[in-house]
Structure 1
Amino acid sequence: MKADIKNLKDITLFVDGFYRKVQHDELIGPVFAGAIQDWAPHLEQMYRFWNAALFGVPGFRGNPFAKHAPLPIQEKHFERWLSLFSVTIDENFEGTIATEAKNRAQVMAEMFIHRLRGMNGDTSKVIV
């Protein structure tokens, strides 16, 4: 039996593993490569994001949707993102928090897709 996600060390493990998969993925890898030149700050931000999302630890600041809205992304990109995310979680963890991480990722993807559809391709409609 695998352990559950329990701390920042575990978050770092799954975030790093997930983004290694992302960087090598033929569909979403190029989108990320076009948007991120230096991965270290992005990874640090993702550690803070997931620490806040899963454990309520303060430290994350940002507007994820505003960062993603101008990117050339569609529903298929979110489907791949979710698939890679779930695989990464399942490879390393199981339990209540692991399930919560996958659920939160699903909700976030659905919200982003819904908001992107509302923009109808017009990135000037982004509300920050």
Structure 2
Amino acid sequence: MNDIENITSIKLLVDEFYTRVRLDGLLGPVFAEVIKDDWQPHLDKMYAFWNAALFGVPGFKGNPFARHAPLPIGNDHFDRWLKLFTETVDAHFAGHRAADAKNRAGLMAVMFMSKLANMKGGPGRVVM
């Protein structure tokens, strides 16, 4: 298997990953509620995101956390998201960038879960 090498690799990764997401019983309905049947704008944004994250290519604009914060999601969703992402990377790629992509995805999942917990008050904290 080759490593993630360029935008073509990223498109394969993103397309395959979101195919898995759409079919997933936990994640699919959350995405379907927001995206409806128009996936291409989201996929285009994810191509740009991963191209910037892995190769430093400018072009991604957005605030991923702000887009996810209002959704009805929790730790189970992020755990599943990360599992599907890791499986997708492992099914198609091996190498330094593939490992970097999985690492970055793991860090994002932990950060999002932490921020969401703090927004909702977190354990032992009351938000009014």
Structure-to-structure mapping, 1:15-54, within 5 angstroms: 15-37=14-36, 38-54=38-54
Once the two structures are TM-superposed, the CA of residue 98 in structure 1 deviates from its matched residue by 0.1
Residue in structure 1 matched with residue 110 of structure 2 by the alignment: 110
Unpaired segments ≥5 residues, structure 1: none
Using the size of structure 1 for normalisation, the TM-score is 0.93
Residue in structure 1 matched with residue 13 of structure 2 by the alignment: 14
C-alpha distance in structure 2 between counterparts of 1:78 and 1:103, whole Å: 14
Count the aligned residue pairs.
Answer: 121
State the AA in 1 paired with 2:49: F
Tell me whether 1:65 sits opposite 2:65 in the alignment: yes
Give every structure 1 segment of 4 or more consecutive aligned residues whose post-TM-superposition deviation is greater than 6 Å.
none
C-alpha distance in structure 2 between counterparts of 1:35 and 1:119, whole Å: 21
| Percentage of pairs with the same residue | 60
Using the size of structure 2 for normalisation, the TM-score is 0.93
Residue in structure 2 matched with residue 55 of structure 1 by the alignment: 55
C-alpha distance in structure 2 between counterparts of 1:12 and 1:120, whole Å: 34
Tell me whether 1:5 sits opposite 2:4 in the alignment: yes
- RMSD of aligned Cα (Å): 1.1
